[in-house]
Chain A
Amino acid sequence: MTEGSKSKATHREDFVPPQTEDVFLDNAALDNVMSTVIALGSEFWALQKRMNVMETLLEENGSVSKEMVEAYRPTEEQSAAWEEQRDRFINRVYGFLQNTGTDSKTAG
């Protein structure tokens, strides 16, 4: 959370956080590890995207800088291809979580 704007008090400190624990699995450690693994996926994807952008820039230009990466705008085709790449990544890596031993009973 940010400290307030120096010029004026525009927010309040007395907001109310959720009162319910979010533990859904056998124990909190398991929930926490799951969340960590999912969060790592988002960090991984950030790196993957950087790779994609850098590869593109190197191919087009032979060199690359941090500024060029930050400013990069994927084309529509790239966006679509990278989205597909992301979804395949998610299915490959997180698909395991659906193996809960109830498939024989549950339709797809």
Chain B
Amino acid sequence: MIDRRTLFGTTAAVASAFTSFFGSRKAAAAVTSKSLPNDIEPRGTYTEGRLERLPEMDMESRLEFTQGFRNWSLRNFGRKSSSRVNELVREAGFVTSPSPPIDDVLAAIGDDLTVWTSVRCKTTAQQIMWNNLVDGFNANKDAYLAELDAADASGPGTLELNADLDIPDYTKHEIHIQPGGYIGDPLGGYVYHYGVNVFTLDLSSEDVFHRDLAQIIPVPEDGKMERFLDIGTGVAQLPMAVKERFPETDVWGIDVGAPMLRYGHMRAAENGLDINLSQRMAEDTGFEDNSFDVVTAYILFHEVPTEETKKILAEVRRILRPGGVFFPVDFRTYTQTRPSASGRFNQWWDHVHNNEVWTEEYRASDFIQLMADAGLVVNEDAPTLQKRFWNSVMATKPV
């Protein structure tokens, strides 16, 4: 592990310091990952050995602050702000649940100081998080780019990039205000991964959400699970977890964003997981008819306009084999749940100020009906995650 710290001034000095001063501490969990050419892991990994520590301690500390400040903004101040929203909406003569239309909620809030100060805090938490990550990874960009370049051609697993891919405009937004979004920053995969750990309020997350999710993915009735695909796979956390659960399965992940896939491929290779990642659009995957047993999409659809969602669902039906399972996980739509006024206000913030450009369109759609319209048979008893936040649905392609 120590011999891999070759960069950022953490050289032999660290090795000796590490041995002499930390030898008596609870040893860090063994790193099971393998070293790729140009691999850098300047400060080792977090406790369970999979998530690499950030390149500088200050960067790590700033992120810890962001985590704490975000918790405070959402839980402490946020709770107070939410009761204030509901109170103002009630005072304006509405019931708070279900929420009146968003324009009425905004009118009731007016320029209330509690609400807008809280929104300021939440928004700034997001901004300082990205600033810190973008700044810190870019300060070491040559090393990180060299690491990615070398990893592209390493295995196990394969990476297929498509420089000529016709990328539709709707995927080019800086969703969650991440600078460059999914396609615009070559180090976007790193930035996304650590940023999302903060969103999920779990700094040391070792792909826990994705590993939990992989455990509940339904296998087709006939038990055949030879080929699996995750669409909008991001940094490929779900395919990695699926490969761990089904080592014999041919596991694929596709995404529009090359920076996401490159980082994902590197992590999979480092962790010895043989998965195939390819830069392709979910609405036009190029895979053969009937060629997958299971297709998943984890928090993809709230970032896609409804017209494109219809195309993606048709494509999913085409590439699933008869009896194959589709298992998407995402927010609940308004047809499934009606938020209270404060919940509605948070969703408005997410859409307008967290730049979740397509999420309102998604929530307004009837996703279950869209799956049925695409010729999939919806099973209302899909296994669900413990976290109520996300909703999983299950559908099969008719035999």
A residues contacting B by CB (< 8 A) are 1-18, 20, 22, 24-26, 31, 34-35, 38-39, 41-43, 45-46, 48-50, 53, 57, 60-61, 65-73, 75-76, 83, 86-87, 90-91, 94, 97-98, 100-102, 105-108
Asked if A46 and B113 sit within 8 Å, CB to CB, the answer is no
B43 at the interface (CB under 8 A from A): yes
In angstroms, Cα B132 to Cα A9, docked, is: 25
B residues contacting the other copy or chain, number (CB 8 A): 81
New contact pairs (16) apart from A67-B17, A71-B17, A71-B44, CB-CB < 8 Å: A2-B138, A10-B258, A11-B188, A12-B184, A16-B172, A38-B124, A38-B128, A46-B65, A67-B9, A67-B11, A70-B14, A70-B57, A71-B14, A73-B44, A90-B68, A102-B84
- The one of A39, A67, A70, A98 in contact with B114, judged by C-beta atoms closer than 8 angstroms, is A98
B117 at the interface (CB under 8 A from A): yes
Asked if B57 and A38 sit within 8 Å, CB to CB, the answer is no
In angstroms, Cα B259 to Cα A38, docked, is: 30
Surface stretch bound by A, among B161-169, B300-308, B325-333, B377-385: B161-169
Offer 24 A-B interface pairs, CB within 8 angstroms, sorted by A: A2-B186, A10-B163, A10-B258, A11-B180, A11-B183, A12-B172, A14-B184, A16-B172, A17-B174, A25-B116, A25-B117, A25-B120, A34-B117, A34-B124, A43-B62, A45-B65, A45-B68, A49-B58, A67-B17, A68-B14, A73-B22, A86-B65, A90-B69, A102-B112
Given A2-B141, A24-B119, A24-B120, verify A71-B18 contact (CB < 8 Å): yes
Those 9 A-B pairs whose CB atoms lie nearest each other, nearest first: A15-B184, A45-B65, A100-B113, A49-B61, A46-B61, A42-B65, A46-B58, A24-B116, A10-B258
